[in-house]
Amino acid sequence: MTIRARVCGAFLAAALATTAFNGAFAAEDTIKVGILHSLSGTMAISETTLKDAMLMLIDEQNKKGGLLGKKLEAVVVDPASDWPLFAEKARELISVDKVSAVFGCWTSVSRKSVLPVFEELNSILFYPVQYEGEESQRNVFYTGAAPNQQAIPAVDYLMENEEVERWVLAGTDYVYPRTTNKILEAYLISKGVKPEDIMINYTPFGHSDWQTIVSDIKKFGSAGKKTAVVSTINGDANVPFYKELANQGIKAEDIPVVAFSVGEEELAGLDTGPLVGHLAAWNYFQSVDNPANGEFIKTWKAYTKNDKRVTNDPMEAHYIGFNMWLKAVEKAGTTDTDAVLDAMVGISVPNLSGGYSTMMPNHHITKPVLIGEIQADGQFETVWETPGLVVGDEWSDYLPDSKDLIADWRAPMSCGNFNIATGKCGGKGS
């Protein structure tokens, strides 16, 4: 009963949202862009920002004259953090609203829920969040980081610069942390770390009582070897986690925490004074100093009319993805899905960290990897970055199931899981 009530509420809200945005440009001939981000429920905290970022990008593009001589029109729906509803809303966007491309999803489970819809109705999804890999789909472009563009370089950094020998892999209990930790565990063991020097810990979503786990980490760290925490803790649970770390006096100099899901947006809800020195690995930080990023931040603050709003990595991923899509549509001269899919591979656009990102045949992009330390003002300071760009590796080389798989969506291979050992398309995964 309660679920029905929630779904009804969400439908109502979504219906209101769609009509409001549909009304705006109904008169002229437009190219429609779908935005599939939760505006209510648990994930609203992260996804609402991405919706705003997309609206801003579309707005800016319309000021520059739109695309193919037409105005762009945003169609916003609210899947309300409800995974099956993501699939329904995606179907609605593609078959009712006839959008040319969809930008959306945050959690892996929401992405998995919409995959069959995009495949069946043959449309395009841009997915902007760092994820666990082990997937490559014809209709999806992954503009967030694959594990080798975030997790592995972060662990390398800790091993080389902080001489860490003992590892705590702490995560929220769902698919992204579990898969990432599996990859990291295999990687660490391949680097000669003993299994007893790895502690893996999972907590439920929204976990708020971290006392036991933080004191376990402290205990694990007092074995005379340099210890670090690799955190795939997601969303709201981070704030109480960091508060507990600070209160129990765990300093970054002693046990650094490197996080893959903590960005500027998450830090905005925290007093970062006691957290200075803890780390995060991303492909973009707001503090990256270059003209393109400065311009982006200025536009964003003006668009949200809030001088305190921060930018973050998934926003940059949408920035890259949107610009790639624009370029591909211009190259193809049409918004027809198959033509755009063909045109996308090889497209190269400037990213906000001062370089270019290119769409690879596996539908992942090239990115630099940055390691940043939390500063007292809630920003990150880059302390290390990869010398060049890193190509997203969809099938991890460190898992036995996927090390022989590659993806290449160019003709004639056109396969998301080609097994180089057997020479056949098809294997584990989608």
Q: Where do contacts with other proteins occur on this chain (CB under 8 A)?
A: 1-2, 5-6, 9, 13, 39-42, 44-45, 48-49, 161-162, 173, 201-204, 206-209, 211-213, 215-216, 218-219, 221-225, 236, 238-240, 243-244, 246-249, 252-254, 256, 265-266, 268-271, 274, 276-277, 373, 375-376, 381, 383
How many helices (H) and strands (E) the chain has is answered by 12, 19
Which residue, among 60, 56, 61, 141, has the nearest Cα to 104 in the 3D structure? 141
Min CB(171)–other proteins separation in Å: 11
Min CB(424)–other proteins separation in Å: 38
CB of 255 or CB of 390, closer to other proteins: 255
* Alpha-carbon span 42 to 60, nearest angstrom: 29
Query: For the chain, what is the largest distance between any 2 Cα atoms, rounded to a whole number of angstroms?
Result: 70
CB of 28 or CB of 253, closer to other proteins: 253
Contact between 146 and 393 under an 8 Å Cβ cutoff? The reply is yes
Write the single-letter amino acid at 74: A
Which residue, among 292, 310, 409, 406, has the nearest Cα to 356 in the 3D structure? 292
Min CB(143)–other proteins separation in Å: 22
Residue 361 is given by DSSP the state: T
Min CB(271)–other proteins separation in Å: 5
Torsion of CA 249, 255, 260, 263, to 10 degrees: 40
CB of 44 or CB of 186, closer to other proteins: 44
Q: DSSP for 264-328? A: HHHHTTS--GGGTT-EEEES--TT--SHHHHHHHHHHHHHHT-TT----HHHHHHHHHHHHHHHH
Residue 321 backbone phi and psi in degrees, to 5: -60, -45
CB of 7 or CB of 345, closer to other proteins: 7
CB of 200 or CB of 345, closer to other proteins: 200
CB of 22 or CB of 304, closer to other proteins: 304
Min CB(126)–other proteins separation in Å: 21
β-bridge partners, 198: 167
CB of 59 or CB of 173, closer to other proteins: 173
CB of 138 or CB of 278, closer to other proteins: 278
Torsion over CA: 146, 149, 151, 152 (sign): positive
Contact between 401 and 108 under an 8 Å Cβ cutoff? The reply is no
Per the structure block, which two tokens stand in for 217? 């980490």
Min CB(12)–other proteins separation in Å: 10
Min CB(1)–other proteins separation in Å: 7
Min CB(72)–other proteins separation in Å: 24
Min CB(185)–other proteins separation in Å: 16
* Alpha-carbon span 403 to 108, nearest angstrom: 21
CB of 41 or CB of 350, closer to other proteins: 41
List, in order, residues 6 or more apart from 359 with CB less than 8 Å away: 141, 324, 344, 345, 346, 347, 348, 365
* Alpha-carbon span 414 to 387, nearest angstrom: 31
